[in-house]
Structure 1
Amino acid sequence: MAAPLLAATAASTATRSGALRSLLAGILVLPVLLVMLLVVLLGGGLAADAAAVGAPGQLRPGAVPDGYEPLLHQASRTCAGVTAPLLAAQIEVESGWNPRAVSPAGAQGLAQFMPATWAGAGVDGDGNGRRDPFNPADAIASQGAFLCQLLTAVSGDRRLAGDPLDLALAAYNAGLGAVRRAGGIPPYPETQDYVQRIRALIAYYADPAGTAPGAGPPGSWGRPIVGPITSGFGPRWGRLHAGVDFAAPIGTPVHAASDGTVTAAGPASGYGQWVKIAHPGGVSTVYGHISRWTVTVGQGVQPGQLIAYSGNEGRSTGPHLHFETHVNGRAVDPAAFYAAHGAPLQ
């Protein structure tokens, strides 16, 4: 359920007072245009670069009902950090893809907006001059904009502990006020289950294809992720930046650059979480700041195989993938390495 921005919430959606939520919902729901302005002004907490905005994650073909895929991709372009698979997973949890759904508390449509919240946050997604929570185009556009607003709010609040995406989802369900009072995800079983269910479903809706588009045969090299390079190899902030950074929303699929064997997958100092792959010829690659990994140590991988999802973990200034190439244990410029292998990284 799309909770009001400063709502005080109870542990169960079914038992929340619809009247109280409606009253508090209208207190501080910012216009969608302000959401976009905040993304631009405060984007350092959301993305490594403004170019990351509009780089949605890919949906698994056929995973969503007919007609919804373009709406999800369009909504995911509202800001960095909100992807089409994320929105799809949230819709399944909110309404089970029923555009006419109405909860016991009065939340409406695919994205389960309370009427008072909709009054301030509803978007005319199809440009027909009306804002209707039961219209999928309007509901999905509003869902993306409101989730971006919440993601902006939690990303800029250093008092909160936890992954910004998890916090934003918790705020969507329980209210931003509840998240702030708890200093993180509130201790409500419903809200905790809500976040976990959506996180688990993202993998279902994301493109699970074994290879990235255009991946070549063993020995070939391909881009590890879709997104622009926002920081290159070389000195930065008084130390060596030993790789390149790709701006990408949290949850964007990360693919193996080439064939090899996974030598590390999990928590790593500085990187937050990473995957490391050993390739033939003394070459290894590193994929840092990821939100999740899908491979295990010792597993063989092929070029373009899905290995992780991008994130904002560790020492990171915003959602992105940090990518390194090493030759015989020494970090080398990935752009130069790719050029030498006839596979431009840009």
Structure 2
Amino acid sequence: MQAGMKIAVAAGCVLLAPVLFLSATLGAVLGTDGASSGAGGVIACTTAGAPTGSVAGYDPDQMANAATIVAVGKQLQVPEYGWVIAVATAITESGLRNLKYGDRDSLGLFQQRPSMGWGNPQQVTDPTNAASQFYRHLLAVPNWQQIGLAPAAQAVQASGFPDRYAKYESDARQIVSALTGVSCASAPAPSSSGGWVAPTAGRCTSGFGPRGGEFHRGQDIAAPMGAPIVAASGGRVIASGPANGYGLWVRIEHASGVITIYGHNNRNLVAVGQTVHTGQMIAEVGDQGESTGSHLHFQVETGGQSVDPAGFYRQQNGPALCAPSATRQAPGVR
């Protein structure tokens, strides 16, 4: 897994033109009386019946750890499908055991690493603290409720085996239902095309237009190092790797020949020729190339010409690309 995300400072680029225990009182602890709301209207989570407290194949200790994860999610007001994602992640990482060992210095339910900023050994082996850290990182993932369980879990965990989380979604849904009476539908297959989402969560810094006597061809979005970058819409990857000035970039071709560019990446997660869906994680925010701090340079091209990404999104009835900056940002420097 990777380090906890650090808060970014002002950034820009210079790309210019050329222990809960399982018991009879578990329902009261989790506060599961009453109807449950859906996960942002994307994953339907509804009260399906009374909690049973047990699931075949999982012993009382595993169920108690799952109960802690769910209770923390409820306390933090995480939508119910987030509980499923967290439980599936813990099954994948530790088998729902609070392990005192792991790969390198990984420990606990989520195999969080003290050396990578998740906390000290005591903290990462405290199930309540470990679950809290997982949820806080999950909530920072753009569109986490839309992209499916495995991509959402991978965005937090940065595993070398990103597809394995999906294997335990069914078990996690059963466990959450057994503990709370809440049943969450399977994540729908993400759209392979159409629709536009923000490529990362952050604040606007340098925008499209003249800057320092030259022309800046994209929108800079300041975000923490390692934060997820997702495909703005479905399409095909036409470039992924080093690029002059950008450090590492990803280029995606969408319908009608629209191309989006994601630059200064810390790490790319897709390959040329790969089809990606809207909201799929494709890279991590970085500071490579001609850059003055951790951020995403996001660029949109139509008809072979760069256009203002913010204006393009307005034309597509898309969301705001980034949060407004409190202060005007100085241009980047070479």
Q: TM-score range by the shorter chain?
A: 0.3 to 0.5
TM-score by length of 1: 0.45
Structure with the larger RCO, 1 or 2 (CA within 8 Å, 6+ apart): 2
Query: Larger helix proportion, structure 1 or 2?
Result: 1
TM-score normalised per structure 2 = 0.46
